[in-house]
């Protein structure tokens, strides 16, 4: 059987497009959410140079807080879909809120988003696959896009 080169290139170019949208077909390789967890799926728009971008995953809860800094405990894990090699992210065991213990003025209590603390979870920007996150059902997942500057600066030598 002879395969013409242009046909082979067309087939190779079409394969990533099948996973661009988070359709049920694109999510088929990913596991269902475990009991007590929710699956979040982010479709990223195509960028001219995706290597210049990162996605920060932010998980947390809206809680009643005072004037102190608040953070939730929790641990992000990167996992791989067996047999496919696709990556996904899981947030396990979001702990209770911790805060500084300074005195606050009366009336300083309010509702606010309290994020999971620790190092930011920065992941590769890839618009060809859905970004799949599993988190406890009572946790909100947010994200933001980080972009590198066009220019780089030389490091001084010493």
Q: What is the pLDDT of residues 6-55, one digit of tens each?
A: 433 333 333 343 334 578 888 999 999 999 999 999 999 999 999 999 99
Structural domain includes residue 104: yes
Structural domain includes residue 108: yes
pLDDT in the model for residue 8? 35
Bigger pLDDT: 73 or 100? 73
Residue 66 belongs to a domain with what CATH number?
Answer: 2.60.40.550
pLDDT in the model for residue 69? 87
User: pLDDT tens across 34-47, in order?
Assistant: 999 999 999 999 99
Q: What angle do CA 126, 23, 43 make, to 5 degrees?
A: 30
Asked whether residue 68 carries a pLDDT value surpassing 70, the answer given is yes
Contacts of 141 (CB under 8 A, 6+ apart): 40, 57, 58, 59, 91, 133, 135
Structural domain includes residue 4: no
Number of domains comprising the chain: 1
User: pLDDT tens across 80-96, in order?
Assistant: 999 999 999 999 888 88
- Do residues 116 and 94 lie in contact, with contact meaning Cβ atoms separated by under 8 Å? yes
pLDDT in the model for residue 2? 45
Provide the residue range defining the domain that includes 36: 18-147
Round to whole Å and give the CA distance between 69 and 66.
8
- Do residues 39 and 132 lie in contact, with contact meaning Cβ atoms separated by under 8 Å? yes
User: pLDDT tens across 107-133, in order?
Assistant: 888 999 999 987 889 999 999 999 999
* pTM tops 0.75, yes or no: yes
Structural domain includes residue 97: yes
- Do residues 91 and 75 lie in contact, with contact meaning Cβ atoms separated by under 8 Å? yes
Structural domain includes residue 125: yes
Structure tokens at 71: 């953070």
Average pLDDT of the chain to the nearest whole number: 85
Q: Could you give the percent of the chain with pLDDT greater than 70?
A: 87
Asked whether residue 60 carries a pLDDT value surpassing 50, the answer given is yes
Structural domain includes residue 40: yes
């Amino acid at each position: 059987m002879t395969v013409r080169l242009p046909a082979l290139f067309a087939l190779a170019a079409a394969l990533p497009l099948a996973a661009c949208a988070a359709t049920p077909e694109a999510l088929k390789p990913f596991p269902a959410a475990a009991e007590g967890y929710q699956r979040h799926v982010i479709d990223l728009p195509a960028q001219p140079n995706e290597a210049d971008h990162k996605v920060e995953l932010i998980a947390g809860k809206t809680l009643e807080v005072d004037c102190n800094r608040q953070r939730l405990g929790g641990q992000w894990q990167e996992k791989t879909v067996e047999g496919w090699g696709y990556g996904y992210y899981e947030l396990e065991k979001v702990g209770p809120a911790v805060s500084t213990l300074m005195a606050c003025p009366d009336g300083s209590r309010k509702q606010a988003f309290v994020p999971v603390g620790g190092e930011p979870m920065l992941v590769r920007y890839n618009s060809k696959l859905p970004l799949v996150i599993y988190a406890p059902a009572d946790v909100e997942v947010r994200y933001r896009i980080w972009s590198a500057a066009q220019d780089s600066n030389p490091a001084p030598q010493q």
